[in-house]
Amino acid sequence: MSGGEILILAVLILGAVIATLGDRIGTRVGKARLSLFKLRPRKTATLVTIITGILISASTLGILFAASNQLRTGVFELGTIQRRLRNTRTELEEARIQKGQIERELTKSRSDRASAKKQLAETNQSLKGAITERARAQAEAARIQTALSLTQGRLTNVSGQALRLRSEIGQLQAARDRVIAQREQEIRARDQIIQQREARLKELETQQEDLARSVQALQLTAQGLRVGNVVIQRGQVLASIAIRATNTAAAQQAVDQLLREANQSAIRLVRPGTADRIVQITSADVKQLIEQIDDGQDYIVRIYSGANYLVGEKFIQVFADAVRNRVVFLAGDVVAGTSFNPSTLSDAQIQQRINQLLTAANFRARNLGVLTDSVQIGRIQDVITFIEQLKQYKETIELRAVASDVTYTIGPLNIDLVASQNGQVLLRTKNVAPTTSGQNP
């Protein structure tokens, strides 16, 4: 029989014995009608029974505690043990986690170790190759050192030759720089001449185009005149007016007045002596014209013939046009230009060149918006004096038509003739003065 079984049997026997003794003691106390602590006999018997039960329990626990150290420890240190158990479990879990990390680090370390071994092997192989290469390099260095010794001797000779060559090169470079500077100066002078010639060529080409358009227009006009007795040509201005209208009513009044003047001009040309209204223009054109000129700006409004008309026509179809009266040329602006040598031309040829210049100036002014078809050059006596003085020059001069004052769209274009040479003004029609003949200023 084991120790635990003997202990249980002893506890049972001891409990039975104590219970029997307690019962007998209680019986005797009850029969004797004893009283403890001034209690009644019945309550005294009950107290004895309770004390007997306490003794049974105390003896049982005492035997168990005396016989089992584990039981004694479990009863009195159970809370501490449980706390230790929980702490131990927590530490065990952390240990497991650390174990996992350590195992992973160990695996990585093994992998790194394998890679390191592989790199070490490759490094050893490279080192062997480097040692072999170093040996070859040392042999090559020895050979180069020998060649260097020979080259240094040659270098000493070459250095002397180089010094002499540098001196010669310095002299040649100085001479070259002087030649280049002289050439560049000549090239700049030629480039300036070329630019002037190109600018002059562009002016002449522009004048040529303007003259060609003028010739074409004149040819068309002549062709129309040969067809019949044309008294009004297509595009002919029948009336014009300069106006600044600040409202619609003023614009309407100005347009009505302009149409009446155009009607009178048409009657004088087509049906003299009548008083009918023969000019016709659409209401849409009149409305558009009024809306255009009622903004308070300066405008030039003109009435044009819509076609060629003969004497006796009953109706003349017209259209209107309005342009801003703006500044086209400022005083001193060059309108047109040409160049020639007066000593190589006759008086008639010089006059022809001036007429061509005036024609070119007129066409350029028309292309830029000047409405009047004429160029005013001032007094005839000034022009004659200018030509007489111009014939005294024996070299090529530049002749320009220059605006003498501010020119607006309505015109007219007043110009001065200016003769210059190398950028210096020699003559001009305004305030010309006699010069000594036969000399070249």
Nearest to 399 by CA among 361, 347, 440: 361
Check residue 223 and give its pLDDT. Answer: 52
Using alpha carbons, select from 375, 349, 346, 381 the residue that is nearest to residue 362: 375
Please compute the mean of the pLDDT values over residues 46-55 and round it to a whole number: 77
Contact 269, 232 (CB under 8 A): yes
Q: What is the average per-residue pLDDT within 232-254?
A: 87
pLDDT classification of 213: cutoffs 50, 70, 90: low
- For the chain, first and last CA: distance in Å? 161
CB atoms near residue 305 (< 10 Å): 22
Q: What is the pLDDT of residue 436?
A: 40
**H-state helical runs in 68-77:** 69-76
User: What number of other Cβ atoms are within 10 A of residue 52's Cβ?
Assistant: 19
Nearest alpha-carbon partner for 365 in 402, 418, 319, 312: 402
pLDDT of residue 215: 59
Pairing of strands 397-403, 413-421: antiparallel
183 or 241, which is more confident: 241
Which of 35-44, 129-138, 394-403, 431-440 has the lowest average pLDDT?
431-440
Backbone φ/ψ region at 328: left (φ over 0), alpha (ψ -120 to 50), beta: alpha
Q: What is the pLDDT of residue 13?
A: 75
Q: So what's the pLDDT on residue 440?
A: 37
E strand or H helix at 232, and its extent?
Answer: strand 230-232
Residue 144 confidence (pLDDT) above 70? yes
Stretch 314-326: mean pLDDT: 87
Highest mean pLDDT among 19-23, 31-35, 120-124, 196-200: 120-124
pLDDT-based confidence at residue 75 (cuts at 50, 70, 90): low
Q: Residue 61: is its pLDDT beyond 80?
A: no
Between 90-99, 277-286, 366-375, the lowest mean confidence (pLDDT) is in 366-375
Check residues 197 and 86 and name the one with the higher pLDDT: 86
Q: Is the pLDDT higher at 373 or at 438?
A: 373
Burial of 63 (0-12, 13-18, 19+ CB in 10 A): middle
pLDDT for residue 39 is more than 50: yes
In the DSSP assignment, the letter for residue 321 is: E
pLDDT at residue 437 in the model: 37
C-beta atoms surrounding 35 within 10 Å: 13
Distances (CA, A) of 22 to 51, 55, 56, 109, 408: 8, 9, 9, 77, 150
pLDDT of residue 263: 92
